[in-house]
Homo-oligomer: A and B are copies of this chain.
């Protein structure tokens, strides 16, 4: 349990100093609780700038909560939600979506964490048939859990398909900033303008202490959402401190700097290792994660130097996530150790 640097997850990093300062800036006097304060309103207006006037934001504590409550807002309990098998909502939320929404999740196998119309269609049948959970949401992650990124036209295609089938498109944007950097586009172009109806927009993985949000692009989806958030145990009493983090996040394009840096670190890491024999990069490096197969025998030693998670035990596939505070030294040291370990193995 010793603390050490690593590539385990972008949430192993701390709070960016500018974010901490933003929190300090609002820490004086009394303000109304639960979001009825001026800072929360200021943050809300910033979201409207970035996501469009018609959008509406609600702050929550975790990415799981953002996903679960956003999905619940768009469904009835007899609906189903189509997503990649590797989706965070399917793999890593301990059944929270099912428990809270009552819905069924319909996984689609993918190679790169991205679904296509083709994969979604497999689950579109028995419509209007009361014995069968009725598909109502397609959920995608941008960037995906495999570090890949949907192009805007890919998002539009899924949104069109969803809307043609009386469904909504949900986007899990725990790493939306990294994707925006990758596509060199605005948040709005990638979300509301591309047809996204419900967005989980996260900050924690990119420098915040704790701050996630649900952004809706259709009024029908959020008119009663304040009750769902409260009943979902996600209404912060001292909301100003979540608002302040997002204010700091948008200020001076901090989100952009942080995400650019993290993406760059991943790119550099991947470039430095791509020609190392016995190392095989398994996914396109489009955001801040590198997936690679390495000799199983060296994984433990590597983890002792820089902590990270094994993604697939059978294949010996590992995941290296970079963060706003990853340094080039981290990369260089790690690549050095990797090379040494592989040499050891071959000698």
Contacts and interface: CB of A to CB of B under 8 A. Distances in A.
B24 A6 contact: no
Contacts of A68: 233
Number of copies: 4
Contacts of A233: 60-62, 64-65, 68-69, 96, 100, 232-234
B131 A94 contact: yes
Contacts of A4: 29-30
B209 A241 contact: yes
Given A30-B12, A103-B95, A233-B232, A38 B78 contact: no
A219 B211 CA distance: 32
B238 A210 contact: yes
A30 B3 contact: yes
Interface stretch (A165-173, A222-230, A286-294, A332-340): A222-230
A104 to B, nearest CB: 4
Given A1-B41, A15-B238, A94-B230, 12 more contacts: A1-B37, A1-B38, A14-B26, A68-B233, A78-B224, A94-B227, A95-B103, A102-B231, A130-B226, A209-B241, A210-B236, A210-B241
Given A30-B3, A224-B78, A133 B232 contact: no
A231 B1 contact: no
A221 to B, nearest CB: 13
A20 interface: yes
27 contacts: A1-B36, A2-B38, A3-B37, A8-B30, A11-B238, A15-B238, A15-B241, A20-B23, A62-B235, A63-B237, A64-B235, A76-B227, A77-B228, A78-B228, A91-B131, A94-B130, A94-B132, A95-B103, A95-B133, A98-B102, A99-B231, A100-B233, A130-B229, A131-B230, A134-B227, A204-B237, A210-B237
